[in-house]
Amino acid sequence: MISWLAYYDDVIGHMFVLMILAFSMYVVMRVGVFSVASIGFWAIAGYGAAIADQYDVPPLLIVGGALLVSGVFGLLLALLAVRLSGLSLTMVTIAFVLLLQVIVLNWEDVTGGSLGIFGLPVHIGTYGLLAVVIVVAVLLALYERGRTGRAQDSLLHDEQLAQSVGIDIRRQRIVALTLSALLGGLAGCLNVFQTGMMVSNEVGFHVVVDALTMVILGGTAAWYGPVIGAAILAWLPQMLSFADEWRLAVQGVIIVVVLVFAPQGAAGLIQRLARGVAAKRRSSLLKRREPQDVSA
């Protein structure tokens, strides 16, 4: 067990980083905002951290800076984008990510262009990352319990209803977008700290797709959705290494199969099962109702 853990240390560490990225996507998706700006902040913070690291800035200062920058930019983006709804927002944020990619590739002196920045010190290990994931997950789980969770549900499914029960949808969205930016930045920074590099592969459409895949496979029904999604995405390539050049194909098939059987993702499936239990309890109640009970 110990040797297994040590052996797959980097996969496990990467999985934790992905979980934070998935959380970042999740907090906006949860309130019906289909933004993929997380990837943008992941990239901005990642390059920021890598560049600062080259100048031996203390790691904690880098994290602080990454959070500050993504928070501020996140807020600005949120104020700009909050009036867009649904897929328009998705498109704008995809364009934001792709634009960043063009910048990264062309601004070679700073970003290392298509190559990237390599050979940075590794600042955080698997246990450190685990601790961060636990803290974020607990905070999210607490945050979405009760009142806030219900508000998120109403934002996700019916804006007008949300407004009619006193929810300021604009404010909620700005909060969610900013929070998402913070988490995206944190994830990007930790990614560099864990791997010791930042490369242009980490920004672009396929990262958007990967991140979406995590959130959709895991589901947006509850905080454990992204945890499951990130775990799947981190381990699939490992488990499928036997398939050689067909690996991506096999991975594709697995994703399709999972989605066909659980279109709401793993978390949705879990909730559905719980719901099935609730329904069973109810039907026994109904049968016991006497006729005069109803017509009274």
Work out which of 31, 213, 227, 230 binds another protein, going by CB under 8 A.
213
DSSP state of 198: B
Nearer to another protein, 9 or 68 (CB): 9
Residues 218-237 binding another protein (CB under 8 A) are 221, 237
Output the smallest distance, CB 139 to another protein, in A. 19
Do you know the residue count of the chain? 296
Contact 48, 203 (CB under 8 A): no
Amino acid at 262: A
Candidates 35-43, 52-60, 67-75, 81-89: pick the segment binding another protein (CB under 8 A): 81-89
Work out which of 55, 56, 109, 241 binds another protein, going by CB under 8 A.
241
Output the smallest distance, CB 208 to another protein, in A. 10
DSSP state of 30: T
Output the smallest distance, CB 187 to another protein, in A. 14
Nearer to another protein, 138 or 282 (CB): 282
Structure tokens, 30 = 């949860």
Structure tokens, 274 = 């719980």
Output the smallest distance, CB 136 to another protein, in A. 21
Cα–Cα nearest to 31, from 143, 140, 139, 169: 169
Cα–Cα nearest to 233, from 11, 40, 35, 27: 11
Contact 160, 7 (CB under 8 A): no
Nearer to another protein, 131 or 239 (CB): 239
Work out which of 60, 109, 273, 296 binds another protein, going by CB under 8 A.
296
Output the smallest distance, CB 218 to another protein, in A. 11
Contact 68, 126 (CB under 8 A): no
Most distant pair of Cα atoms in the chain: their distance: 82
CA distance 183 to 177: 10
Residues 51-80 binding another protein (CB under 8 A) are 80
Residue 135, classified by CB atoms within 10 Å of its CB into exposed (0-12), middle (13-18) or buried (19+), is exposed
Cα 209 to the chain's mean position, in Å? Answer: 11
Residues 85-114 binding another protein (CB under 8 A) are 85, 87-88, 91-92, 94-96, 98-99, 102, 105-106, 113-114
Other beta carbons within 10 angstroms of residue 162's beta carbon come to: 22
Output the smallest distance, CB 54 to another protein, in A. 13
Residues 132-191 binding another protein (CB under 8 A) are 146-147, 150-151, 153-154, 156-158, 160-169
Output the smallest distance, CB 163 to another protein, in A. 4
Cα 160 to the chain's mean position, in Å? Answer: 26
By CB under 8 A, the count of residues binding another protein is 105
Output the smallest distance, CB 138 to another protein, in A. 20
Q: Provide the mask over 255-294, with x wherever binding to another protein is found by CB under 8 A and - wherever it is not.
A: xx--xxxxxxx-----x---xx-xxxxxxxxx--x-x--x
β-bridge mates for residue 117, sequence order = 198
Work out which of 7, 79, 131, 139 binds another protein, going by CB under 8 A.
7
